């Protein structure tokens, strides 16, 4: 049995699509099933997904305070008032800033921009920065991607006579800040049709109101912010992303070309390129230093300057990766110890952990252990612990931290993530409190992650043509993810570890010779045997190699309900490291001393508590292993059968060998085995080891006696057959054990064990 990492939840088909729409949009069977599972069955919905056009963009004037904001900006430009664009330090923030600054520059405004420092100022409006803007004669501040929670700072600067226009997309609190205007898609006093724009999307809408037609580069920057900020990839966000990707591939701005050049990327840019290459690099600067560098790069039109700035951005990205890797390695060790101690809410804290990357680290820990995780940096100078947390679907991080707010200085967040600060001496209390809260509010036995499956398909429907049709559904992202496909009953043809240290798994299935990759699951190659049946989930893709195009799956999970009997008889195979040794029992030779309560002699009763059984040593007899099989109720059996020496190929002496040995001993009268043993073995033409066995049989039957190394015949009229000797029978049984367990084909042994297990049932 192979246990799945996730609980698989298949999306129920909400309703069927009309056949006329299938023809109208030229949908393949796979496309149709996927769209139906996602709830897209009406013509307007299909048009939005498959043919997003500019008509899907909503009228910017419908957004809150848009007319008021436009009027104030035009007044500032006409009066040559200084305008400050106040941004944020992530990818959405720097793209928002770039769109707004370039819009105002195009209109001839006196505009400057400012991005706060994550470490010295934090997120959102900064009172010192706002006061400094007033001191420098700024008359209008426009926030982008922030401001909706900056009540005190906005009130302060408004009282000084500086107007503030807030453009933001984050959650609105119970009250609104006292700004001159608030441009926000979720404003409750207005009915903007789509509430899920990112900061750059809101900036784009303001730019459209100010300019009418906006430059192509604005679509590109809004697309980057939309993907990087993980907002819903539906409605007008879909058009923004499609249009931005189209324009980027046709004529990339020098800033993005420079980033891609530094990343050594020269292929078609997709949403994945933005999510994994461009977005992380723009974010890296603000995570480690002042994000103004990223904004400067996006704003430049000079190729040389872009190259220079992109080199610095790449440096920050490399440094960010190294810092993350170091902290992840340290945090993993701490997490393993915490899990072993029975903790279900991981609170990991250490000095000198870089606060800018702790959210990334928390996400990595959650991916590995699937437990809510908090990563804190201990800052003795500030006398506080500060960090980020990430949760799982079943646990609300906001509720968990709310339960401990008496010992937390400051926190903010939502169901899946949060940031917080607390006194150093309260870290232990927080860890204990969160684990107590988990025990009270969550069933810790039901924390297995959930994977939503879009559709279950027959392997016969997985073709290059069908997979290619899925590409028509792009771009994929939040609320419209790349479809997860489930395929049941695949037959393993071959599996092996690939990559460095064989960390990844490559599989071939009998059906259609389908290939599959399973990243970071190379260890499973030791648990998969030919002809084993598995169910899998994953994404479909086309593998191109030497001009050939074949269907391939990138797996996200795998399971098998079949009993696994795994062949580890080769000395070159090492047993895997078992995660839970309490679930593994070992069958050992009766001559071996037990060193663990989980070791059992063959034939001994085995409690029904084990998931895995390792048949470590050879049994004495086949009856012993039969009896053990009747006790077993495990999902995996590992056949090792280690032994010191094999006698199978030596076999048993012939009857003539026994007769010749007896005659020689009889004629000699007394035989000194030490002096005459070699000559005796040569005389009867058997190996010394076989001579020893013959003599043991004689001793067992009382045919000879031995004293001080001298052997002599015992004259008796009670004749016994050689085969009646216990020594003889033990060797005979050992030969049978070796024949069946060491030298038979694995398939034969597997069938034999399965039959014995079936008798138990």
Q: Given this model, what pLDDT does residue 608 score?
A: 86
pLDDT value at 80 more than 80 = yes
pLDDT digits (tens, 9 = 90+) for 664-683: 999 988 999 889 999 999 99
Helix (DSSP H) and strand (DSSP E) numbers for the chain: 25, 26
Q: How far is 676 from 670, CA to CA, in rounded Å?
A: 10
Q: How far is 15 from 35, CA to CA, in rounded Å?
A: 10
Residues 199 and 305 in one domain: yes
How far, in Å, are 50, 152, 397, 506 from residue 412 at the CA level?
A: 38, 17, 10, 42
Residue 166 banded pLDDT, cuts 50, 70, 90 = very high
3-state secondary structure of 263: coil
Residues 551 and 585 in one domain: no
Instruction: Give the mean model confidence (pLDDT) for residues 628-648.
Output: 92
pLDDT digits (tens, 9 = 90+) for 725-745: 999 999 999 999 999 999 999
In a domain, 336, yes or no: no
Q: Given this model, what pLDDT does residue 758 score?
A: 87
Cβ neighbors of 515 (< 8 A, separation 6 or more) are 506, 507, 508, 509, 543, 550, 551, 552, 553
Report which of residues 102 and 523 the model is more confident about. Answer: 102
Residues 556 and 569 in one domain: no
pLDDT digits (tens, 9 = 90+) for 440-482: 887 766 788 889 999 999 998 899 999 999 999 999 999 999 9
Q: Given this model, what pLDDT does residue 484 score?
A: 95
Q: How far is 268 from 165, CA to CA, in rounded Å?
A: 38
Q: Given this model, what pLDDT does residue 13 score?
A: 63
Residues 305 and 357 in one domain: no
Helix (H) or strand (E) holding 397: helix 397-402
Q: How far is 239 from 449, CA to CA, in rounded Å?
A: 32
CATH code where residue 386 lies:
3.10.310.30
Residue 205 banded pLDDT, cuts 50, 70, 90 = very high
pLDDT digits (tens, 9 = 90+) for 537-577: 999 999 988 888 999 999 999 998 888 898 999 888 888 88
pLDDT value at 611 more than 60 = yes
pLDDT digits (tens, 9 = 90+) for 19-53: 999 999 999 999 999 999 889 999 999 998 998 78
Q: Which of 63-67, 318-322, 437-441 has the lowest mean pLDDT?
A: 437-441
Q: Which of 385-399, 408-422, 428-442, 586-600 has the lowest mean pLDDT?
A: 408-422
Residues 683 and 570 in one domain: no
In a domain, 373, yes or no: yes
**To 5 degrees, how large is the angle CA 575–CA 581–CA 583?**
105
Residues 153 and 228 in one domain: yes
pLDDT value at 526 more than 90 = no
Residues 496 and 554 in one domain: yes
How many structural domains compose the chain? Answer: 5
In a domain, 223, yes or no: yes
CATH code where residue 521 lies:
2.40.50.460
Q: How far is 129 from 136, CA to CA, in rounded Å?
A: 11
Q: Which of 164-173, 189-198, 443-452, 716-725 has the lowest mean pLDDT?
A: 443-452
Domain that holds residue 659: 648-724
- Backbone region of residue 293 per phi and psi (left: phi > 0; alpha: psi in -120 to 50; beta: other values): alpha
Q: How far is 3 from 557, CA to CA, in rounded Å?
A: 9
3-state secondary structure of 713: strand
Residues 520 and 632 in one domain: no
Q: Tell me the percentage of the chain whose pLDDT exceeds 90.
A: 79
In a domain, 268, yes or no: yes
Scored b (16 or more CB within 10 A) or e, 583-599 reads bbbbbbbeeeeeeeebb
Residues linked to residue 384 through DSSP beta bridges, in sequence order: 379, 423
pLDDT value at 12 more than 80 = no
- Of 515, 480, 29, 521, nearest to 226 (Cα)? 480
Across the chain, mean pLDDT equals 93
Residues 139 and 15 in one domain: no
Q: Given this model, what pLDDT does residue 171 score?
A: 84
Answer with the one of 501, 530, 562 that is the final residue of a domain.
Answer: 562
Taking each helix axis from N to C end, the angle separating 151-159 and 127-135, rounded to the nearest 10 degrees, works out to 20
Q: Given this model, what pLDDT does residue 445 score?
A: 63
């Amino acid at each position: 049995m192979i246990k799945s990492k996730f609980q698989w939840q298949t999306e129920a088909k909400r309703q069927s699509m009309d056949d006329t729409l299938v023809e109208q949009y030229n949908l393949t069977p796979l496309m149709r099933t996927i769209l139906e599972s996602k709830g897209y069955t009406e013509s307007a919905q299909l048009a939005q997904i498959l043919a997003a056009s500019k008509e899907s963009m909503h009228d910017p004037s419908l957004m809150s305070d848009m007319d008021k904001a436009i009027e104030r900006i035009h007044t500032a430009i006409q009066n040559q008032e200084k305008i400050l664009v106040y941004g944020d330090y992530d990818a959405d923030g720097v793209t928002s800033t770039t769109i707004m600054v370039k819009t105002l520059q195009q209109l001839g405004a006196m505009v400057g921009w400012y991005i706060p420092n994550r470490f010295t100022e934090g997120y959102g409006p900064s009172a010192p920065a706002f006061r400094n803007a007033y001191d420098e004669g700024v008359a209008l501040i426009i926030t982008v991607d922030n401001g909706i929670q900056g009540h005190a700072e906005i009130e302060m600067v408004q009282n000084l006579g500086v107007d503030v226009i807030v453009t933001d997309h984050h959650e609105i609190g119970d009250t609104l800040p006292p700004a001159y205007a608030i441009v926000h898609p979720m404003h409750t006093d207005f009915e903007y049709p789509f509430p899920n724009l990112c900061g750059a999307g809101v900036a784009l809408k303001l730019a459209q109101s100010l300019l009418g037609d906006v430059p192509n580069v604005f679509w590109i920057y809004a697309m980057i912010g939309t993907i990087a900020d993980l907002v819903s990839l539906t409605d007008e966000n879909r058009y923004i992303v499609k249009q931005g990707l189209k324009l980027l591939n046709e004529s990339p701005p020098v800033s993005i070309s420079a980033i891609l050049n530094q990343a050594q990327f020269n292929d078609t840019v997709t949403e994945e390129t933005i999510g994994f290459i461009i977005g992380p690099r723009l974010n890296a600067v603000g995570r480690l230093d002042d994000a103004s560098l990223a904004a400067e790069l996006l704003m430049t039109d000079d190729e040389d300057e872009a190259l220079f700035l992109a080199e610095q951005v790449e440096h920050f990205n490399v440094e960010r990766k190294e810092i993350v890797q170091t902290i992840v390695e340290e945090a993993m060790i701490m997490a393993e110890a915490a899990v072993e101690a029975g903790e279900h809410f991981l609170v990991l804290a250490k000095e000198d952990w870089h606060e800018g990357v702790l959210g990334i680290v928390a996400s990595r820990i959650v991916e590995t252990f699937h437990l809510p995780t908090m990563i804190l940096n201990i800052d003795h100078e500030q006398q506080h612990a500060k960090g980020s947390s990430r949760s799982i679907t079943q646990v609300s991080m906001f509720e968990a931290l709310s339960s401990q707010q008496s010992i937390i200085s400051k926190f903010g967040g939502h169901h899946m993530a949060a940031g917080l600060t607390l006194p150093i001496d309260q870290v232990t209390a927080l860890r204990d409190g969160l684990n107590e809260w988990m025990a009270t509010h969550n069933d810790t036995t039901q924390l297995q992650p959930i994977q939503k499956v879009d559709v279950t398909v027959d392997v016969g429907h997985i073709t290059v043509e069908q997979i290619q049709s899925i590409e028509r559904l792009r771009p994929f992202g939040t609320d419209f993810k790349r479809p997860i496909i489930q395929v049941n009953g695949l037959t393993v043809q071959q599996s092996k570890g690939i990559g460095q240290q064989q960390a990844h798994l490559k599989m071939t299935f009998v059906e259609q010779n389908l290939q599959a990759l399973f990243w970071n699951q190379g260890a499973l190659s030791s648990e998969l045997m030919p002809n084993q049946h598995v169910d899998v989930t994953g994404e479909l893709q086309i593998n191109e190699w030497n001009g050939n195009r074949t269907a391939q799956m990138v797996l996200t999970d795998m399971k098998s309900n079949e009993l696994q009997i795994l062949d580890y008889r080769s000395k070159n195979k090492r047993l895997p490291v078992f995660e839970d040794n309490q679930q593994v029992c070992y069958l050992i030779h009766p001559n071996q001393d037990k060193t663990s309560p989980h070791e059992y002699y063959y034939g001994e009763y085995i409690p029904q508590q084990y998931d895995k059984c390792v048949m470590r040593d050879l049994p004495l007899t086949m009856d012993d292993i039969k009896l053990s099989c009747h006790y077993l109720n495990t999902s995996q059996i590992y056949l090792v059968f280690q032994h010191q020496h094999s006698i199978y190929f030596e076999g048993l002496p012939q009857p003539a060998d026994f007769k010749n040995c007896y005659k020689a001993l009889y004629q000699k009268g007394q035989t000194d085995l030490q002096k005459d043993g070699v000559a005796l073995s040569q005389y009867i033409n058997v190996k010394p080891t076989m001579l020893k066995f013959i003599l043991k049989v004689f001793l067992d039957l009382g045919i000879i006696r031995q004293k001080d190394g001298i052997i002599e015949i015992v004259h008796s009229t009670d004749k016994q057959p050689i085969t009646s000797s216990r020594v003889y029978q033990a060797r005979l049984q050992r030969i049978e054990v070796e024949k069946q367990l060491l030298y038979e084909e694995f398939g034969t042994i597997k069938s034999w064990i399965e039959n014995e297990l079936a008798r138990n049932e």
